[in-house]
Structure 1
Amino acid sequence: MLNTKSSPTTTRKLAGTQVGIPPRQMDFVPPTHAARYFFYNNATATLFFAVLSGIFPAGERFFVESVRRFRNDIKDETLKAQVSGFIGQEALHGREHDRLNTMLAERGFDMRMPIKGIDLSLWLLNQLPARQQLACTIFMEHFTALLAEQWLSNIEFQQLADPDMIKLWQWHALEELEHKSVAYDVYDLIGNKPYERVLAALYVIAAIAPTVLASWAYLVAREHKPQKWRDIKQGITILLGKKGFITTILPQMPVFFQKKFHPKQHNTQHLESMWRDKLFGEFGTLLSELKNPDAVRLH
């Protein structure tokens, strides 16, 4: 007899898809032929993104758990579906970055420091009350949404990154924008307290910034490269210079503290639509990696 009962996973994906947050099952095969320094052909910049990849899987799990704790408080069916999509997307991000981290380790990048470091950082954040952990999540989601917008709108980044290596980051960035307001809406539901948002920024910066900076410095120090100091100077300029990849984001961070802040106030729908078509449209560049086409057809 044919079993027509949907599994919990299938139901979750369908729910997310119906509200524009489809968990896309991807199967990225990290390219073995890609240049060692796959961002800007620069070791320092490449290693920064390696650190980000290293901290993402544990970070995504923290995000998911901080939202999941309040799932039973949600009565609105749309928000329930959005949370389902959020959880599905974040879980898949973690899985694919785990695979990327394995490949980076095989290339000789010591990924143990960022991975172990973020575990300690998140252990510290896990000592906070559940509400405060969710506030930390919405602060980090604000940053990752801005980072995602940079990934998708920075033409230089698109042109100077290895075209195969960047695929995972493009998919990740699109989905970060699709679900950027979900955790915030859950936080609004349980009672938005501005002082908790301020504390969240302080806790996150204190717990996570040292891990990122120390891991980045460690990986750069281990790298043996001709004209290393020139590479470091160039990499820091690329990321933290006057118009650097990260520097461009920082002026947008303080809006998070505005009393009536909401992630949707910064409209990225056109960018999302453009990249959905580019990645998953009729001639999408990621269709061969997509393993659940219904996630595209139904949203």
Structure 2
Amino acid sequence: MSSSPSIIPREKLDFGLQGDIPRFWFGGDPFKTRFVDAMSTIFPEGERYFITCVRDFRDQVTDPKLKQEVTDFIRQEGQHGIIHSQFNERLKAQGIDVDKLEGMTRSFLFGFMRRFMPKKHTLASTAACEHLTAIMAQTFFERKEMLASADHRVHAMYAWHAMEEMEHKAVAFDVMQKVAKVGYLRRVYTLVEVTLGFNLQILIYTRLMLKSDGFSRLQRLKMLAKGLWWIYGPGGMFTGNLKPYLHYYKPGFHPWHEAETPSYHRWLEAFNRTGDPIEAGRAVFAGGI
């Protein structure tokens, strides 16, 4: 098992989100832009959900190291929600009904999951989401072509988010295993649940955003057909790291069976040297394959 890096909450970071970021910042591609924008609309409520689900068991954590990791996890996730809320203000200015999308996310996570599912289950779903975000970080930033055409400021925001996900990727999992004593079947079932639900939600939100942008139904269908290959085709955005995704289903799995990726070390060195998350994002891109 690899040794875990330090979990370091980084606050008051400036990504230049008030600048002249193009409406379709992902190489001028509306579908790719709105697909990633859809993820941003989910994050503020999603991060709040993760924090709440881990907090359910916080008082039962006795190990001092894990207790500190939970504290740092909460601070990092809180910052992620803040920064993505700032980014989402840009979407509101473009006419996207972010409040509606966030309300839909909130209704599902807090109106359904938190209301009707056991706390062990919502914690397990949090651990599953953390696994997804950690392996997505590998896909996005180890393969240079994935975000090559993205605006450098948005790239830097997602790079920062991804690197911190790598730092705390085992926290919810350890609370789930060591404190909540969640069994294997619930652990793997929630990953199936989260995988299907997350993908469906992102595609629905993407469609709604493109409709707000004024694209016709036929135009949206053409974008979707092309976009699905980009996401799910061989080596796609979500299929490019299928192997580490499947590792979660192995009995005895732990997130630190796999070390953080090289992009993490590039980002950390650049950020510690410059204190600038945009420069750190550039360093990640420059070192990609």
Name the TM-score class by shorter chain.
0.7 to 0.9
**Is the Cα contact below 8 Å between 2:95 and 2:212 reproduced in 1?**
no
Q: Say if 1:43 and 1:235, in contact at 8 Å, map to a contact too.
A: no
Give, in angstroms, the shift of residue 151 of structure 1. 2.5
> Structure 1 residues 31, 82: closer, same or farther in 2, change over 3 A?
same
1:96 Cα deviation from its structure 2 partner? 0.7
1:145 has 2:137 as partner: no
Whole-Å Cα distance in 1 between the matches of residues 67 and 191 of structure 2?
A: 26
2:35 is the counterpart of 1:44: no
Say whether residues 1:70 and 2:57 are aligned partners: yes
Structure 2 equivalent of residue 238 of structure 1: 230
Match of 1:83 in 2: 70
What does residue 207 of structure 2 align with?
Answer: 217
**1:111 deviation in Å?**
2.2
Unaligned runs of 5+ in 2: 281-289
In the aligned structure 2, how far is the partner of 1:208 from the partner of 1:225? 24
**Is 1:117 aligned to 2:104, yes or no?**
yes
User: Structure 2: which amino acid aligns with 1:256?
Assistant: Y
TM-score, normalised relative to structure 1: 0.82
**Deviation (angstroms), 1:282:** 1.9
The 2-side partners of 1:69 and 1:37 are apart by 39
Deviation at 1:92, TM superposition (A): 0.4
Counterpart of 1:193, as a letter, is G
Which residues in structure 2 correspond to 1:1-299 (within 5 Å)? Answer: 20-25=6-11, 26-122=13-109, 123-126=111-114, 127-190=116-179, 191-205=181-195, 207-224=197-214, 228=219, 231-268=223-260, 270-278=262-270, 280-283=271-274, 285-286=276-277
Q: Distance in 2 between matches of 1:208 and 1:172?
A: 18
Tell me how far apart the structure 1 counterparts of residues 249 and 102 of structure 2 sit (CA, whole Å).
29
CA contact (8 A) 2:24 2:33 kept: yes
What is the identity, as a one-letter code, of the residue corresponding to 1:22? Answer: I
**TM-aligned CA distance change 1:221 to 1:250, over 3 Å:** farther
Separation (CA, whole Å) in 2 of partners of 1:187 and 1:264: 15
**Structure 2 residue matching 1:257: 3-state secondary structure:** coil
Bigger Cα displacement from structure 2, 30-39 vs 106-115: 106-115
Bigger shift: 78-87 or 261-270? Answer: 261-270
- C-alpha deviations, 1:148-194, integer Å up to 9, x for none? 22222120134211112222111101100010011111111122400
8 Å Cα contact 1:51-1:111 kept in structure 2: no
Conservation of the 8 A alpha-carbon contact between 2:15 and 2:277: no
Instruction: Summarize the Cα distance change of 1:242–1:167 in structure 2 as closer, same or farther, 3 Å threshold.
Output: same
Q: 1:288 Cα shift?
A: 8.9
Provide the secondary structure at the position in 1 that maps to 2:203. helix
Match of 1:16 in 2: none
Contact 2:15-2:154 within 8 A present in 1 as well: no
Q: Which moved more, 1:187-196 or 1:96-105?
A: 187-196
Most deviating of 225-234 and 125-134:
225-234
CA distance in 2, matches of 1:222, 1:247: 28
Distance 2:261 2:188 in 1: 27
User: Counterparts of 1:27 and 1:256 in 2: how far apart (Å)?
Assistant: 34
Offset, 1:212: 2.4
Q: CA deviation at 1:205?
A: 4.7
Q: 1:250 to 1:111 in 2, by over 3 A?
A: farther
CA distance in 1, matches of 2:53, 2:69: 15
Checking the alignment, whether the CA contact within 8 Å between 1:145 and 1:173 is kept in structure 2 is yes
Q: Which moved more, 1:191-200 or 1:224-233?
A: 224-233
Contact 2:138 2:261 in 1 (8 A): no
Q: Tell me how far 1:130 sits from its aligned partner.
A: 0.9
For structure 1, which runs of at least 5 residues remain unmatched after alignment? 1-18, 290-299
**Conservation of the 8 A alpha-carbon contact between 2:142 and 2:261:** no
Q: TM-score, normalised by structure 2?
A: 0.84
